[in-house]
C-alpha cells in the first residue's frame, strides 16, 4: 500500500517536473530563436545576396553606406562630390536600364558582348555606379567593387526610412514604427485612463454590491471579444467618423488606433484598478470618515493613494495589452511607414508591421532578419513594461506589510 | 458642558435586533466602560454617536442620539459636522499609510485648515497629549506604518484629538497590544478624561475596573445595568451582571 503510494507520488512529481522543464525550455528557445534571427540583421549588408555595387577605378570613395546608396538611386545625390569624392556626376547602371545605355545589337542576342561593353563603359565613365549580379561581372573587371557598410544599430533604430523591398537597396529604419507604436499606445492610455478610472471608481465606491456584481463580468467580457471585431468596429464606425469630424482625406489615423486600443485596454484597466480600490481596508475608510472627511475626500486622500500602485499596475498592464496588439491597429491606422508625429495622420505600429510583412519575406533574407530585429524591439518594450509592474508590486508589498 | 445621551434607541441589521430600547446618559469628563459578552451590541452602540453604522446597508434605527445637545440623526444636520465633534479609536491601530505628521494633520486638512503654523502647533499638541511626542518628534516625516503597534495606537489617538472633539469613542483600543503598551494607553485615557468625555468598549474587566468611572453592562442588545464602576464590580443590582462580572458566563 505505502509502496504503491510512494511510486504514485514519484510519478506525479516526475510529470510536474518534466512539464515545467519543457515549458521553461520552450520559452527560452523562443527567445534564443528570436535573438538569433534578429541579430543576423547587423551582420548583413542590405544588398541582395550575390549582388554587388561597383564604381570606376578613378572613384576615391572607399566604402558606402546604404543610406547613401538609397540617396544615389533616388537621385537625391547626383554628384560624387556630395559624398566627399571627385567632382563627377553620377551615372547609375542596373540590369534594368541596360537598354537605356546599350542597344540590343551592341550586347548581342545572348548578352555575350555585355562584359566587354560594360568594361568599356566603366573605363569611360568615371562617375558610374553599378548594381549587378555577380555572375554578370566581367572576368577582368575594369571597375572596383565597393563594399557596402553593414547596418548599424543606430541606423536601424533611428533610420527614418523603411523600404524593405526597394531595389537596388532596401532601407531598414524603424523610427517611424517606434514613433507609431509609442504614439498609438500613449493615445490609448490617455483615452483609457480617465474612462477606466471613472468606471473603476464608480464600481468600487458608488455602485452597490449588486450593481458591481453585474458590471464586473460585463467589463471582463469585453476583454474576451476577438481583436478583429474591435478592428472592424474601428474601421466601420470610428474611421469615417474621424475623417468627417476633422475633415481629413483619410480617417485611418493614429487617433483611430488609439481609441480602438484604448477600448481594448479598458477591461484590464477597469478590473485591475477596481480590485485595487476595493482592496483598501475598510478600517482606513472608517478612520477617514470618523475624522469628518466626506466620501469624496476619503476617496481622494485615502483610497486612491492607498491603491496608487494597483492603479499604476492597471495602467501598465493596459499599456502592455495595447503595445502588442496587432490586428485591430493594422486595420485602422492606415498602414503608413512614413515618420509621423501627428495624431491625425496614418502610421503603422511594430506588431502590425511584422504581421503585414512576414509573409512576403524569404527565410534568412535581410528583410526577414529585420522583422525579427523589430520583434526584439517589441519584446524589449514589453519586458520593460512587465518589469515595471514587478517593481511597483514589490515596492507596494514592502510599504503595506510594515506595521 | 458635554452631553452625550441616547433615548430609546433600537437598532436592526436586517432582522437582527442588535439594540433594544436602550437609554443612557453620559457625564462630562468621565470614562464610561461598556462591557458585555461578544455580540451584545457594544460596538453597535458606540458607533451610534458618530453615525458609523450608516455605512452598513442593512442598518436601521429609531430613537434619539444627542451629542452636545444636537440630535445626531436629525435630517438637518450634516454627518461630517457630527463626526468632527466625536473622535474614534478603533480596535486595531489603523494609521493611514502617510507620514506621522500627515496622519495627525489629516482631520484638520479635511476640515479645511491649511494654515501651516496652526497645523504644526495642533499636531505637536495632539502628539504631546497622546504621550507620543518625545518618541516621534525627530521623525515626523517617517511613515506611520514604521511605528510599533502601541505607538500606532497612540498616533491614532493623537489623530482623533487633533480636531478637538468633545466626545471620544474607543472600541477595545488596547485589545491588540502587549501589556506595556496597554498600560500606557490606560494612563493616557486617565489623563484625557480631564478634557474629554470618553466611552470605552472593553473585554478586559480589570481594565474597566482600573480606569472607568461608570460602567454599563449590555446583554443581548439590552442595557442591563448602568452604575458607578465600583458599585457594578462590588455589588451589582442585577444577577446577570453579577454572573458576568464573576465569570459565570460570557
Ligand atoms: N455589519 C453588520 N451586519 C449585520 N449584523 C451585524 C453587523 N455588525 C454587527 N451585527 C450584529 O449586531 C449584533 C451586535 O454586534 P456588535 O458588533 O455591536 O457586538 P459587540 O458587542 O461589539 O461584539 P464584540 O464584543 O464581539 O465586538 C451582533 O449580533 C452582530 O451579529
Ligand atoms: Mg465590538
Ligand nearest to the CA of B17: 1
Ligand 1 atom having least distance to the Cα of B56: 1
Which segment of A4-8, A119-123, B116-120 scores lowest on mean pLDDT? A119-123
Q: Is the CB of B16 under 6 A from ligand 1?
A: yes
Residue A322's pLDDT is: 85
Contacts of A291 in chain B (CB under 8 A): 83-84, 87, 106-107, 110, 159-160, 163
Q: Is the CB of B19 under 6 A from ligand 1?
A: no
**C-alpha of residue B171 to centroid of ligand 2, in Å:** 7
Task: Report every protein residue that has its C-beta within 5 angstroms of ion ligand 2.
Answer: B 43
Residue A403's pLDDT is: 39
Q: Which of A287, A294, A400 lies nearest to residue B80, judging by beta carbons?
A: A294
Higher pLDDT, A171 or A48: A171
Contacts of A293 in chain B (CB under 8 A): 80, 106-107, 110
**A227-265 confidence digits (pLDDT tens):** 899 999 999 999 999 999 999 999 999 999 999 999 999
CA-nearest residue to A401 within chain B is: B145
| Architecture (CATH level 2) of domain A175-402 | Orthogonal Bundle (1.10)
Rounded to a whole number, what is the distance in Å from the CA of B149 to chain A's nearest CA?
A: 7
Domain ranges, ordered by start, for chain A: 2-43, 51-149, 175-402
Residue A168's pLDDT is: 77
Q: What is the ipTM of this complex?
A: 0.92
Contact: B163, A286; criterion CB under 8 Å: no
- Nearest Cα neighbor of B104 from B113, B116, B95 is B95
- Among A136-145, A209-218, A337-346, B101-110, the range with the most confident prediction by mean pLDDT is B101-110
Q: Which of B97, B107, B144 lies nearest to residue A291, judging by beta carbons?
A: B107
pTM of the predicted model as reported, rounded to 2 decimal places: 0.80
CA-nearest residue to B149 within chain A is: A403
**A166-187 confidence digits (pLDDT tens):** 877 888 999 999 999 999 999 9
Residue nearest to atom 26 of ligand 1 (CA): B38
Residue A169's pLDDT is: 83
Q: Which residues of B touch A (CB under 8 A)?
A: 50, 52, 55, 57, 80-81, 83-84, 86-88, 90, 92-98, 106-107, 109-111, 143-147, 149, 152, 156, 159-160, 163
- Nearest Cα neighbor of B239 from B219, B215, B212, B209 is B219
Question: HEC states along chain B?
Answer: CCCEEEEEEEEEECCEEEEEEEEEEECCCCEEEEECCCCCCHHHHHCCCCCHHHHCCCEEEEEEEEECCEECCCCCCCHHHHHHCEEEECCCCCCCCCEHHHHHHHHHHHCCCCCHHHHHHHHHHHHHHCCCHHHHCCCCCCEHHHCCHHHHHHHHHHHHHCCCCCEEEEECCCCCCCHHHHHHHHHHHHHHCCCCEEEEECCCHHHHHHHCCEEEEEECCEEEEEEEHHHHHHCCCCHHHHHHHCCCCC
Residues 6 or more apart whose Cβ sits within 8 Å of residue A112: none
Residue A118's pLDDT is: 84
**List of chain B residues with pLDDT < 70:** 1-2, 249-250
Residue percentage of chain A with pLDDT more than 90:
49
- What is residue A92's three-state secondary structure? strand
Domains A51-149 and A175-402 share a fold: no
Residue A401's pLDDT is: 52
Ligand nearest to the CA of B90: 2
Contact: B145, A403; criterion CB under 8 Å: yes
**A83-116 confidence digits (pLDDT tens):** 888 888 888 888 777 777 777 777 777 777 888 8
**Mutation probe of ligand 1 site: the residue of B17, B38, B41, B46 with most atoms within 8 A of C-beta:** B41
Contact: B152, A290; criterion CB under 8 Å: no
Q: Is the CB of B195 under 6 A from ligand 1?
A: no
Residue percentage of chain B with pLDDT more than 90:
78
Optimal mutation site among B47, B51, B97, interface A, most CBs of chain A within 10 A:
B97
**Mutation probe of ligand 1 site: the residue of B11, B12, B15, B16 with most atoms within 8 A of C-beta:** B16
Residues 6 or more apart whose Cβ sits within 8 Å of residue A73: A92, A131, A168, A169
Residue nearest to atom 22 of ligand 1 (CA): B43
Contacts of A290 in chain B (CB under 8 A): 50, 52, 83, 86-88, 160
Contact: A287, B145; criterion CB under 8 Å: no
**B50-101 confidence digits (pLDDT tens):** 999 998 989 999 999 999 888 999 888 888 888 988 999 999 999 999 999 9
Residue B59's pLDDT is: 95
Mean pLDDT within A1-9: 87
B242, B236 Cβ separation under 8 angstroms: yes
- What is residue A198's three-state secondary structure? helix
**Is domain A51-149 in CATH 3.40.190.10, yes or no?**
yes
**A291-321 confidence digits (pLDDT tens):** 999 999 999 999 999 998 889 989 988 888 8
Contacts of B110 in chain A (CB under 8 A): 288, 291-294, 297, 301
Amino acid at each position: 500500500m505505502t509502496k504503491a503510494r510512494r511510486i504514485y507520488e514519484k510519478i506525479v512529481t516526475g510529470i510536474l517536473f518534466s512539464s515545467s522543464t519543457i515549458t521553461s525550455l520552450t520559452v527560452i528557445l523562443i527567445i534564443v530563436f528570436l535573438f538569433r534571427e534578429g541579430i543576423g540583421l547587423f551582420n548583413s549588408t542590405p544588398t541582395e545576396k550575390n549582388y554587388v555595387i561597383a564604381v570606376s577605378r578613378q572613384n576615391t570613395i572607399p566604402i558606402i553606406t546604404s543610406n547613401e546608396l538609397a540617396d544615389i538611386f533616388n537621385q537625391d545625390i547626383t554628384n560624387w562630390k556630395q559624398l566627399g569624392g571627385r567632382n563627377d556626376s553620377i551615372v547609375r547602371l542596373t540590369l534594368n536600364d541596360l537598354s537605356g545605355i546599350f542597344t540590343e545589337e551592341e550586347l548581342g542576342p545572348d548578352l555575350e558582348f555585355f562584359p566587354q561593353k560594360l568594361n568599356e563603359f566603366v573605363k569611360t565613365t568615371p562617375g558610374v555606379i553599378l548594381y549587378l549580379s555577380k555572375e554578370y561581372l566581367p572576368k577582368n573587371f575594369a571597375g572596383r567593387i565597393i563594399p557596402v557598410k553593414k547596418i548599424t544599430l543606430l541606423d536601424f533604430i533611428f533610420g527614418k526610412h523603411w523600404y524593405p523591398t526597394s531595389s537596388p537597396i532596401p532601407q531598414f529604419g524603424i523610427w517611424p514604427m517606434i514613433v507609431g507604436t509609442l504614439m498609438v499606445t500613449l493615445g490609448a492610455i490617455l483615452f483609457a485612463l480617465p474612462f477606466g478610472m471613472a468606471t473603476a471608481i464608480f464600481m468600487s465606491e458608488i455602485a452597490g454590491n449588486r450593481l458591481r456584481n453585474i458590471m464586473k463580468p460585463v467589463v471582463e467580457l469585453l476583454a474576451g471579444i476577438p481583436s478583429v471585431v474591435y478592428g472592424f468596429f474601428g474601421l466601420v464606425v470610428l474611421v469615417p467618423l474621424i475623417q468627417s469630424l476633422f475633415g481629413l482625406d483619410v480617417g485611418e489615423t493614429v487617433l483611430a488606433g488609439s481609441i480602438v486600443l484604448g477600448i481594448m485596454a479598458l477591461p484590464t484597466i477597469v478590473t485591475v484598478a477596481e480590485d485595487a480600490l476595493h482592496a483598501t481596508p475598510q478600517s482606513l475608510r472608517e478612520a477617514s470618515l470618523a475624522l469628518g472627511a466626506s466620501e469624496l475626500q476619503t476617496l481622494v486622500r485615502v483610497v486612491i493613494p492607498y491603491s496608487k500602485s494597483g492603479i499604476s499596475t492597471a495602467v501598465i498592464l493596459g499599456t502592455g495589452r495595447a503595445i502588442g496588439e496587432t490586428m485591430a491597429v493594422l486595420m485602422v491606422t492606415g498602414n503608413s511607414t512614413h515618420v509621423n508625429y501627428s495624431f491625425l495622420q496614418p502610421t503603422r505600429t511594430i506588431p502590425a508591421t511584422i504581421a503585414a510583412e512576414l509573409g512576403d519575406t524569404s527565410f534568412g533574407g535581410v528583410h526577414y532578419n529585420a522583422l525579427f530585429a523589430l520583434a526584439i524591439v517589441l519584446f524589449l518594450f514589453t519586458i520593460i513594461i512587465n518589469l515595471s509592474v514587478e517593481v511597483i508590486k514589490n515596492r507596494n508589498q514592502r510599504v503595506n506589510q510594515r506595521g | 458642558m458635554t452631553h452625550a445621551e441616547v433615548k430609546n434607541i433600537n437598532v436592526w441589521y436586517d432582522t437582527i435586533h442588535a439594540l433594544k430600547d436602550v437609554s443612557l446618559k453620559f457625564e462630562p469628563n468621565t470614562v464610561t466602560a461598556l462591557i458585555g459578552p461578544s455580540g451584545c451590541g457594544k460596538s453597535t452602540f458606540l458607533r451610534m454617536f458618530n453615525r458609523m453604522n450608516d455605512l452598513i446597508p442593512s442598518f436601521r434605527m429609531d430613537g434619539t442620539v444627542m451629542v452636545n445637545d444636537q440630535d445626531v440623526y436629525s435630517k438637518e444636520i450634516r454627518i461630517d459636522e457630527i463626526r468632527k465633534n466625536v473622535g474614534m479609536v478603533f480596535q486595531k491601530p489603523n494609521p493611514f499609510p502617510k507620514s506621522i505628521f500627515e496622519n495627525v494633520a489629516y482631520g484638520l486638512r479635511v476640515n479645511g485648515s491649511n494654515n501651516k503654523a496652526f497645523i504644526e502647533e495642533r499636531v505637536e499638541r495632539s502628539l504631546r497629549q497622546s504621550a507620543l511626542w518625545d518618541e516621534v518628534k525627530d521623525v515626523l516625516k517617517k511613515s506611520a506604518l514604521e511605528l510599533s503597534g502601541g505607538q500606532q495606537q497612540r498616533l491614532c489617538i493623537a489623530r482623533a484629538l487633533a480636531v478637538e472633539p468633545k466626545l471620544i469613542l474607543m472600541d477595545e483600543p488596547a485589545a491588540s497590544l502587549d501589556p506595556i503598551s496597554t498600560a500606557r494607553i490606560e494612563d493616557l485615557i486617565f489623563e484625557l478624561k480631564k478634557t474629554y468625555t470618553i466611552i470605552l468598549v472593553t473585554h478586559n474587566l480589570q481594565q474597566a475596573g482600573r480606569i472607568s468611572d461608570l460602567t454599563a453592562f449590555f446583554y443581548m442588545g439590552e442595557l442591563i445595568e448602568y452604575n458607578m464602576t465600583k458599585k457594578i464590580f462590588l455589588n451589582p443590582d442585577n444577577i446577570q451582571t453579577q454572573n458576568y462580572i464573576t465569570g459565570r458566563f460570557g
